[in-house]
Chain A
Amino acid sequence: MKQTLHILKAKKVLITLGLLLSGSIAAWAQATISGKVVDDKGKAVAGASVYLDSTLDGGTADTAGNFKFTTTETGFKTIIATEVGHENGGLPLDIKGDMSGLLIKLKSEKTHKLNDVVITAGSFDASNDKDKTVLKPMDIVTTAGTQADVVKSMETLPGTQKQGAENGLFVRGGDASEAAILVDGMVVQNAFFSGPPGVTTRSRFGAFQYKGVSFSSGGYSARYGQALSSVLELNSLDLADKSTINMGINMAGVYASGTKLWKNSSLDIGANYNNLSPFYGIANTNYKFYDVPVGGGGNMHYAWKPNKDGILKVAVNGTYFSSGIAVPSPFQPDTDLNYVTKNTDIFSEVSYRQMFKNKFSLYTAASYSYDYNDNKWGSLPFKETDQRAQYRLEGKWYATTRFSLLAGTDIQHYSIDRDAWLPQGNSVDTFNRYKQNFTETQLAGFVEADWTPVYWLAVRPGLRYEHSELLNKDGIAPRMSLAIKTSDNSQVSLAYGIFYQNPDDNYLLYGYRPDFQQAVHYIANWQLNKNDRTLRIEGYYKTYNDLVRERTTTYDPNPYHSLYGLNVDNSGYGYATGAELFWRDKKSIKNFDYWVSYSYIDTRRLYKNYQSEITPDFIANHNLNLVAKYFIDKWQTNISATYSYASGRPSYAPDWNSVTTPDYNNLALTIAYLHTFGGKWFTVFYLGMDNLTNAHNIFGYRYSDANGSPVVRTPILPPLYRSIFFGVNMSLTQFSKDEL
């Protein structure tokens, strides 16, 4: 009986099981679900995955957005569609049988996230980290005519003036002193190798020492100051990629460096010896180099990551250079003067950056630089020592992904000591020995917010306070920039700011203590960025106020004229306005990359010893650059050409009459051949030719002493016209084949 009961019970169980099973068999009756996936504009979303939530039943939308799949599910379910470029979307369904004509809409939100709105007014970024940048460090090295010089390569971007006789960046109506060059936020006081007047020299930076370059032609961040027109920011490398050896030889010298990478740290040590005899030896120089530039240097870069989100960097760079050249005397342009340079320069820097829980970041850095020039104008010594110490502290709080706040402070202490024979008063015949010096301490504090209230709008307000101990002056500089996304690939950016700068060092050395000079920038740009093609149109208006002016009644064109016994004040002023175009296309032709930059500027100013508001002599109204690069796979060769044009520049005679120089033309070509020797020595052979057409460019004129008559006008020439430069670089790609 008991047994029967059991059997009965078991039967019941079996029947129940059977019912359950048959139930699920019934559910196997398949229903076909079909429909279409579209985006918010009604366009088909191809490749979307469409499925019933929490099941394996689903399908993929075809190129017309149509999908179709079968399911054994019944009842209330949610159908979901996902696609990488869109937000997920779905619909509730009550499945009773076949269903068709379902329409699922997906928002294109994710695409917007892929193309974040970025503030671009006045700024060009070159970085390996970010995709959406206009230039990469590699682009700089391969641009013909720039000799792998970071600063020189900026001259192929809009907003800059082509220079041939003076060092530095001349940006949007500003002279070289109005553009600051920074490494990791620290001021580089002598960015260029010392050279004689009228001869440009290289900047001290090699493109591969930096992971990123950010060039601002105006409206820059509240983090920086003391630059009326522009800031060029270089960011040094973090931990090295690998242990390696790099060496090379070219017409300017030899160099070698070694990099060792440990688990969390790396050390890079390099040395170079330079001798420009081969370079100047085969060229026809416009000046006589009776002592060709000879020098050498060493550099060290150490990086240590004590934890995942922190990095310490220590860098020291030292160089020594000497040269002797016969140049037209600035005091008597019709006679040559032997100019001797002996320059020692050291730049050292320690910085530490730490991120805390992705919420807060701290950056602190200290730098010290020393520069000593032991020069001679003919037989008269001219010695100058520049020293600068800087400390910087910045904290940034990432409140949300859409809002962050940065605050920081910056202290700079610097001095210049000059012991030189200088002309006395207006006479060029009498030179006296003068000892000049000044010591300045500058204090700055700044706050800046980054706010993206909605995906199509980014706002960056900032405020900067600056204090000069020497001038005993304070300045409050508001900054503001914003970007509005106008479509998936285009945006409009606006920037505004007030910028202060101390008077030129020379005035301070002569004992004058005028007030800060001021510039106000208004910038608007429109940028279209699609498929490796970039179009940018930018317009700006700047006003200059309180420019330093020498209240003289005569104009002395000699930039080294004596400043003693003058009335110097801040009564200068001026404006600059212009339009710029940048177009780059990396896509249309395989392995072909080109860009066009064109700048138009209209500017006038009354400053220094100008007699009226005029266009300064470093300004060409039209500047054009065409840069093209083509890589020939088969030959492993990169060919790059740059054509630069600048319209004529004004030059002012002592009687304040002006002439215009001829237009500037330059065609440069670089050919690089790439090869790996022995499977591990990556080698580049390069040949560069500058000014292929041998154009006789003139950068302005010098005028003989106004006191003597008649005035003799001599052209300011580049050191050489056509030139050739070649060399080879080798780097070790792997130490051993331990991978196998």
Chain B
Amino acid sequence: MKGLILLFSAIAFAVATCTAQDFKSTLQKTFDAFENTQDQQQKADLSNKLGLISKKWSNEWLAHYYYSFSQAAVSYGEKDEAKRDAYVDEAEKEYDEAKSILGKDNDETYVLAAMIANARLAVKPQSRWQKYGKLFSEDLGKAKEMNPNNPRMYYLQGVSKFHTPKMFGGGKKAALPYFEKAEPLFAAENSTDITKPYWGKNENAYFMGQCKGDNADKE
């Protein structure tokens, strides 16, 4: 009888770890696929998939975190302004969800909040930079207080500088130090564990190349 109980509990455990394993592997598989495609249609499709994951495992903050990230990322590739805003709305909603499960922010959620603010700004930069530029720096400031070694922080700052017109103090030259700061921090990260966000490494390398490239000085 004792054996039977053990057997059942072993099965129960296996099933439990199986769902946990299932969650992580499904999330990781979907997210990696999302990260590895540049096609907007596929990105939107995979983001929808991340949405399903966040609905199925709605108690996992990570599920909401990644879905939120993906919606914000998809918004950049969309052309219609109203739709872009709608994507950012969804990203914001999911960020709130992740935060409420966690009970408080951590450095990664602050970085995500900064990215969402930037996605909002990017829809209409001329009329929004004032409000959302401020939120962006505030959120990054809070992330930095918690973890000054988070590479995504510097990466996002770099991207923001990269897209800021030169006359406002942006441009490739101004952006490069941020990507250079992020690079060794990315290298020190473990990019296999989905529970510890690791996105941004490839993009950081890409932007660094852009800044150092032949055309960097000409702009």
Contacts and interface: CB of A to CB of B under 8 A. Distances in A.
Interface stretch (B109-117, B166-174, B186-194): B166-174
Interface in A38-89: 47, 49, 51, 54-60, 62, 82, 84-85
B56 A9 contact: no
B131 A128 contact: yes
Interface in A495-523: none
A64 to B, nearest CB: 13
A114 B167 contact: no
Interface stretch (A157-165, A563-571, A658-666, A672-680): A672-680
Interface in A678-715: 679-680, 682
A54 B55 contact: yes
A733 B124 contact: no
A241 interface: yes
Interface in B137-179: 154, 157, 165-169, 174, 177-178
A429 interface: no
A19 interface: no
B172 to A, nearest CB: 13
A60 B4 CA distance: 46
Interface string A297-310: 00000000000000
With most chain B CB atoms within 10 A of its CB, the pick from A62, A131, A136, A733 is: A131
B36 interface: no
A60 B82 contact: no
A138 B127 CA distance: 8
Interface in B1-16: 3-4, 7, 11
A455 to B, nearest CB: 16
A114 B174 contact: no
Interface residues of B, number: 41
Contact of B178 (A56, A128, A733, A740): A740
Contact of B52 (A55, A129, A676): A55
Contacts of A633: 165
A636 interface: yes
A734 B169 CA distance: 10
Contact of B134 (A17, A62, A241, A734): A241
Contact of B83 (A51, A85, A739): A85
B170 to A, nearest CB: 8
B165 A636 contact: yes
A379 interface: no
Contacts of A636: 165-167
Contacts of B55: 54
Interface stretch (B42-50, B96-104, B196-204, B207-215): B42-50
B26 interface: yes
A740 B154 CA distance: 8
B131 A682 contact: no
A680 B169 contact: yes
B7 A682 contact: no
A675 B167 contact: yes
B105 interface: no
A10 B7 contact: yes
Contacts of B177: 740
Contacts of B65: none
A614 interface: no
A241 B165 CA distance: 20
A679 B56 contact: no
A679 B174 contact: yes
Contacts of A13: 4, 7
Contact of A6 (B3, B11, B126): B3
B89 A9 contact: no
Nearest to A57: B52
Contacts of B126: 138
B61 interface: no
Contacts of B90: 84
A51 to B, nearest CB: 5
B167 A51 contact: no
A10 B10 CA distance: 14
Contacts of A675: 167
B38 interface: no
A128 B126 CA distance: 10
Interface string A1-22: 0000010011001000100000
Nearest to A60: B45
B85 A740 contact: no
A242 B129 CA distance: 13
Contacts of A734: 169
B53 A47 contact: no
A472 interface: no
A733 B83 contact: no
A110 interface: yes
A85 B86 contact: yes
A56 B169 contact: no
B44 A60 contact: yes
Nearest to A637: B167
A552 interface: no
B168 A56 contact: no
B48 A49 contact: yes
A111 interface: yes
A679 B178 CA distance: 14
B167 A58 contact: no
A378 B130 CA distance: 50
Interface string A112-139: 0011000000000000110100001010
A138 B52 CA distance: 42
A58 B168 contact: no
Contacts of B130: 128, 241
Contacts of A733: 168-169
Contacts of A10: 3-4, 7
B44 to A, nearest CB: 5
A85 B82 contact: yes
Contacts of B154: 740
Nearest to A51: B52
Given A49-B51, A84-B90, A676 B168 contact: yes
B49 A58 contact: yes
A59 B46 CA distance: 9
Nearest to A129: B131
Given A84-B90, A138-B126, A682 B169 contact: yes
Contacts of B85: 114
A676 B169 contact: yes
Given A49-B48, A59-B45, A84-B90, A676 B127 contact: no
Contacts of B127: 128, 131, 136, 138
A56 B52 contact: yes
Contacts of A85: 82-83, 86
Given A56-B56, A114-B85, A674 B169 contact: no
26 contacts: A47-B44, A49-B48, A51-B48, A56-B53, A60-B41, A85-B86, A110-B86, A114-B86, A128-B130, A128-B131, A129-B131, A131-B124, A131-B127, A136-B127, A138-B126, A241-B130, A531-B81, A675-B167, A676-B169, A682-B167, A682-B169, A733-B168, A733-B169, A739-B157, A739-B178, A740-B177
Interface of A: 6, 9-10, 13, 17, 47, 49, 51, 54-60, 62, 82, 84-85, 110-111, 114-115, 128-129, 131, 136, 138, 241-242, 531, 633, 636, 674-676, 679-680, 682, 733-734, 739-740
Given A47-B41, A679-B169, A682-B167, 17 more contacts: A10-B3, A10-B7, A13-B7, A47-B44, A49-B51, A51-B48, A56-B56, A58-B52, A60-B45, A111-B82, A129-B131, A138-B127, A241-B133, A633-B165, A676-B167, A734-B169, A740-B154
Interface of B: 3-4, 7, 11, 26, 41, 44-45, 48-49, 51-53, 55-56, 81-83, 85-87, 89-90, 124, 126-127, 130-131, 133-134, 154, 157, 165-169, 174, 177-178, 181
Q: Nearest 3 pairs between A and B by C-beta?
A: A84-B86, A49-B48, A60-B45
